[in-house]
Every structure is written in C-alpha cells, then in structure tokens.
A and B are shown apart, each in its own frame.
Chain A
Amino acid sequence: GDSVTQMEGPVTLSEEAFLTINCTYTATGYPSLFWYVQYPGEGLQLLLKATKADDKGSNKGFEATYRKETTSFHLEKGSVQVSDSAVYFCALRGMDSNYQLIWGAGTKLIIKP
C-alpha cells in the first residue's frame, strides 16, 4: 500500500541556515503530495502541495518539488527563522488509499537564534 517516509528529527539549525527535510513515498499511479506544518500548541496547516510530477509547491519561502523518478518531495528553505520552529509532516493522497491522506511520522524542526 501507499506509504510515506520522512527523515527523523529533531533537526536543529541556526537561524539563516539552509533547510532540507527529506520525504520519500511509495504509491501507485499519480498521487498528490503535501507538506503540513504544526506550530507549537496548534493544529496542522497546509504548507504547500504538488499534484503532478515536476510540479513545485511553494509557500512562506518553503519549496518542494514532486520528483517521480526518485519518488521524493523534499522540503527546502533557503534561510530559516526562529519562527519556523515546528513539526513538519509529509503526506500523500492517492487512489490506493481511496484518496485518504497517508502521513509521514513528522519531523520536528528547532531553529536556534
């Protein structure tokens, strides 16, 4: 069945560092891919998405490109801020799961000033 694997955390970076959080997936067909963010004490919010191969989703300085050849959707940001400290979840939505979201385990990001 469909699955999502993302890098384990916590990931600790200094402010203004470059961020990559790896996400790979297994799915048949052409799923849509998502990144959600959960700030401390809050619910999950959609950060960005991509619905077909080679699409790039972007929001708030974050980017992720749908790479079908490597089955990946890595999250990147060029210069992180303390306010980016949160838990980030990668997810996919495809036919095999009857279009339910399949979640990665989440990666906690800590940004130090």
Chain B
Amino acid sequence: DADVTQTPRNRITKTGKRIMLECSQTKGHDRMYWYRQDPGLGLRLIYYSFDVKDINKGEISDGYSVSRQAQAKFSLSLESAIPNQTALYFCATSDNRRVGGYTFGSGTRLTVV
C-alpha cells in the first residue's frame, strides 16, 4: 500500500455539486497538506493541518473546506464546485523536522463541468 493514498484518482462532477476528496496516510506524520496544481503551474496550498486540532488556511482556501478526522485522515471538500476548480489536487504529509521532506499522494484529477 502507498504511504499516502488519495481517493478518487479521477472525478468528473457538475457545477454546484458538493464533492469530497479523501486522503489517508500510513507514515505516522502529524502534518498534512492539500495542494492544487493547474496545468503548467506550480503548487498552491489550500489548507494545512499540523495536528488533529490545528487546521489552517493556505493561500487559496476560498471555496474549499477540510476535515481532519484522525491523525491519518484529512479530507478536502468543495462545497459548491465551479469550473475553475478543475485541477489536479495533491495531498501530502510531513513530520515537523527541518530536515524531513514531504510525502505526496498520487493526486486526484478533478473536472467540474
């Protein structure tokens, strides 16, 4: 099993629908992150969580919400999907050490029509 698992891998949804993307990890990391990547662009941080009770907005949180159900689970919701939320979404985890890297999931490709 992958260290960081995202579901679904691909999703097509209609404008106005609520959708949830899920992320689970087996790394035992406290920190989890949701990123968005648009074609030809870099990563933009949506939300991050340093532990179960600590959730913070990133640079592009409008239109999104998150839930940290357990140390291992961090889900991202689009309350009312719109076409410009069509993108690739990545979940990542890390410890809190300066020297540690992030571990990424394989991504969810979301299309809003």
Task: Name A residues whose Cβ lies closer than 8 Å to a Cβ of B.
Answer: 30-32, 34, 36, 42-46, 49, 51, 89, 93-95, 99-101, 103-106, 108
Contact = CB atoms under 8 A, between A and B. Distances in A.
A42 B98 contact: no
A99 B97 contact: yes
Interface residues of B, number: 22
Interface centre among A43, A105, A106 (most CB of B within 10 A): A43
Contacts, number: 52
A44 B90 contact: yes
A95 B98 contact: yes
Grouping DSSP codes into helix (H, G, I), strand (E, B) and loop, the B interface class, with mixed when no group exceeds half, is loop
Contact of B98 (A31, A43, A106, A108): A31
B12 to A, nearest CB: 17
Interface stretch (B66-74, B78-86, B102-110): B102-110
B43 A103 contact: yes
